[in-house]
Chains A and B, each alone.
Chain A
């Protein structure tokens, strides 16, 4: 077997899998190295994909580009639900409970059978670098693999430390060793590292739970899928369960707060605010007397139940007391205790927008190593790093998605431009143009790009084109088909609870009425039979046209600053008008345009005005 590759991916978590698959698909000879081949695409925390905020948006975007996550979760979920249905199309979200073992198997299978891709077990301890450019990697066993591009997707393994109560010991995840050598190697290459932490709740035995006392949370009765390419099947769904903590729970936690790693300081580094441990919730919100707990099955062939809401790294006997203070869990048996993990990450402002290191050319990073949290966030970076590593090797331009185009664009830009002070999670509130970046139109936004890149196949693209054509034809038809205010029409409108009609209007005008749906139009015209996904697009496009147009205008406005390019060799130290802090931040981030510069924290609107003035006469300020 050849030891020479185009792209080497280190780590086979959610970032690494997408990265390796994308690079291989783009024609690069790719090697995926991971510590343990049995833990490919493991879900070490919540056994779910999608869910609150914009996670499902990310999955759909990955899928639209030709990535794996959506297809694999569709084939492995235990149940799937639609969240935020009443809150509007822009913020609707999917959440699927994964059979985590099946998910891993399907991902492993997809990678093992991908052309151009070698999957291999090995602990990378060193990045080989010459003259500031990556040459390859070296493993603990002393084997060297060469490649002009390396993607690090090492998750929580860099100098990972596991914490339970006062106990701290090295490890990347429960039962798996961490890697210290690679951290030291990165530091010696001039890459700055910092520390984050994260934690996970205990897992319970399903047979030790009293279901009488729990509320069932069934899957959606309507068929739902993440991937634009998945077909529906009618596999039986397995429900989740719901309960709440009691005053007793709070009491147990309060009595044992001195054991809490956050309280005692036995864990360092920022943890995610959106995923606080139960001890932190009790400390920060003392007035809240009960907290939600969800029990989620981890797979069809395992009895393990994930305890969403009970994240903690308290000593095991305290975890037991906490669990047993909760209705339905009085006799529950813990199978895996909760714990915290503390790890090195690379503050991501050391990366460019293509996720390549500014320090070492050809070194890309994706996932938790960049300070993010979540499988979806990791996978999203993975596909971008995979594409850009491949493009670097192939001598093509990097692919950078705009903030107005994809949550993936928002994610990468936020990381690189603003950095992050806690493990970063995607939320719809982070996007400026939420109405454009919907979960339902990810294919319309990104499929053409995925196809152009070569990640989306001919057949997939033909299907997409059919859908797009149908949508456009239908919208046209709605615009040109008139409805006259005949007695019959007016009676029907009244029956549907809609206002009277005075003059002739188009079908589109009617559909704009909030109380009317596409299905109602059949009373006024001969509607064609259309697939659900087409009707969904048509309805949203027509009903929200005014709002969408407004955001499109804002995008045009926003784009004006984005279009003012900043030359790479500009010397901010020469621009005296900038405040010292701004000079330093700009020098560190090296924004590619004025819009990105404006998003850097520590750069004020006044600094941007100065930059705008200077850019008109930029030749004075570039370094030779």
Chain B
């Protein structure tokens, strides 16, 4: 099969310090030859696998230099995809990276579909299924933090955790199976309590692992940060400033924003899903009331709340109520419009409701953003999400979570069967089922392992 050469921007636009355009396929080297001039003057096509050259990316049609860049070449089958691969790494912004991609496309490459590099790697036997999945996470991860988790998974920290859990189960299953298949040999009987205890321990460990699945989701999809406050305080202004574009409508009419607006944003490596909401107040307008309800509901779902207040108008009961009702949440309080005269002070807020929340006084109209960004980043890293992930196995894929949950359900069945006083052949159904579900994650076959272990552990046979 001859596959067409594919090209894509390998780093998400505008976020990393460098921009990478990657090509994979038979013509990757030919295309590189036409659009890259090495500083040394050697030909890109002649470079050995796994080498790099500094030089210029050029547009052969207009004869102009696009940017200075590093060219990285890998020759199939010893490349990530198993095909010939070249990468252009440059420091230029969005425009430059886009231009490099367009040039490659004009020279005969085809735009890669999402995940197509990984799919080729997989089809060329360079990756197994779980590795391929982890790589898709790497590709999609918006920040280094989630990158760390994905890489971790590649190296099997999840498999390690699961293997440890499986080991305990194996011990039990192997004894059950030895008793069943070798009734005439000297194999010690299993007590009900002993079995139940092992099963309960394993269920507990599975539960702990399953609990990390939600954390894994946060890392892949971003923290949900909800901007809230009473009307006209500057919530939409805050969204626009952070995004650096006029995304939400800003007017001096209270109640401008009536529905939620969601945008994804990378704040110094932290993926945020930033949500602007309707201002909180009693209203007769049906649409606005629904918006307010939605906003209040979002408090519950938020990983982080940014509560905006207006320092230039007197405090209202809404301000106080919001502060009280979001007490348990990770929060940043913004006192906006510092360019105008301040009519109330921090002391006017209930200290218990405010708690430890960092307070940022600023002007979204003309002030610096840095203090706000510092506060948000500080809160997230202190809030434990970063720390806890670094060394822990985190379940980041739905498939894994499902397998863990099914394993747990099987064990619960086994426990129930056990407590009903039913025989071993029925108990073993749940035990083996659980082992097989865990095996789905690590890709092991269960049946032969059990048999091998029976013979390794017991003096069987006459």
Q: Do B429 and A577 have beta carbons less than 8 Å apart?
A: no
CA A137 to CA B425, docked complex, whole Å:
47
Question: Known contacts being A427-B451, A429-B451, is A83 close to B183, with CB within 8 Å?
Answer: yes
* B111-148, CB < 8 A from A: 122-125, 127-129, 132
Of the candidates A428, A576, A609, A620, the one whose C-beta lies within 8 Å of that of B181 is A428
Instruction: Give the residue name and chain of the B residue nearest to A579 (CB).
Output: B125
CA A273 to CA B443, docked complex, whole Å:
26
Chain A residues within an 8 Å CB radius of B128: 604-606
Of the candidates A276, A292, A434, the one whose C-beta lies within 8 Å of that of B425 is A434
B189 to chain A, nearest CB (A): 10
A59 is an interface residue with CB less than 8 A from chain B:
no
A425 to chain B, nearest CB (A): 9
Of the candidates A88, A311, A430, A577, the one whose C-beta lies within 8 Å of that of B462 is A311
Chain A residues within an 8 Å CB radius of B429: 434-435, 547, 550-551
Instruction: Give the residue name and chain of the B residue nearest to A311 (CB).
Output: B462
Question: Known contacts being A281-B459, A606-B127, is A514 close to B181, with CB within 8 Å?
Answer: no
A623 to chain B, nearest CB (A): 15
Chain B residues within an 8 Å CB radius of A276: 459-461
B146 to chain A, nearest CB (A): 24
A482 to chain B, nearest CB (A): 24
A485 is an interface residue with CB less than 8 A from chain B:
no
Q: Do A309 and B420 have beta carbons less than 8 Å apart?
A: no
Q: Do A88 and B451 have beta carbons less than 8 Å apart?
A: no
CA A121 to CA B4, docked complex, whole Å:
68
Q: Do A606 and B421 have beta carbons less than 8 Å apart?
A: no
Q: What number of B residues sit within 8 Å (CB to CB) of A?
A: 39
B455 is an interface residue with CB less than 8 A from chain A:
yes
A113 is an interface residue with CB less than 8 A from chain B:
no
Q: What number of A residues sit within 8 Å (CB to CB) of B?
A: 55
Instruction: Give the residue name and chain of the A residue nearest to B184 (CB).
Output: A52
Q: Do B461 and A87 have beta carbons less than 8 Å apart?
A: no
Chain A residues within an 8 Å CB radius of B368: none
Chain B residues within an 8 Å CB radius of A427: 181, 451
Q: Do A609 and B129 have beta carbons less than 8 Å apart?
A: yes
Chain B residues within an 8 Å CB radius of A309: 462
Q: Do A547 and B426 have beta carbons less than 8 Å apart?
A: yes
Question: Known contacts being A88-B424, A429-B177, A429-B447, is A83 close to B462, with CB within 8 Å?
Answer: no
Q: Do B122 and A609 have beta carbons less than 8 Å apart?
A: yes
Of the candidates B122, B181, B447, B462, the one whose C-beta lies within 8 Å of that of A53 is B181
CA A293 to CA B123, docked complex, whole Å:
56
A323 to chain B, nearest CB (A): 15
Q: Do B1 and A52 have beta carbons less than 8 Å apart?
A: no
Q: Do B183 and A87 have beta carbons less than 8 Å apart?
A: yes
Q: Do B423 and A88 have beta carbons less than 8 Å apart?
A: yes
Interface centre among A418, A427, A578, A601 (most CB of B within 10 A): A427
Q: Do A429 and B180 have beta carbons less than 8 Å apart?
A: yes
Instruction: Give the residue name and chain of the B residue nearest to A201 (CB).
Output: B462
* B246-301, CB < 8 A from A: none
Q: Do A430 and B447 have beta carbons less than 8 Å apart?
A: yes
Chain A residues within an 8 Å CB radius of B105: none
Chain A residues within an 8 Å CB radius of B123: 576-577, 610, 613
Question: Known contacts being A273-B460, A429-B450, is A88 close to B455, with CB within 8 Å?
Answer: no
Question: Known contacts being A87-B423, A88-B423, A551-B429, is A604 close to B183, with CB within 8 Å?
Answer: no
> Which residues of B come within 8 Å of A, CB atoms?
1, 122-125, 127-129, 132, 177, 179-186, 417, 420-426, 428-429, 443, 447-448, 450-451, 454-455, 459-462
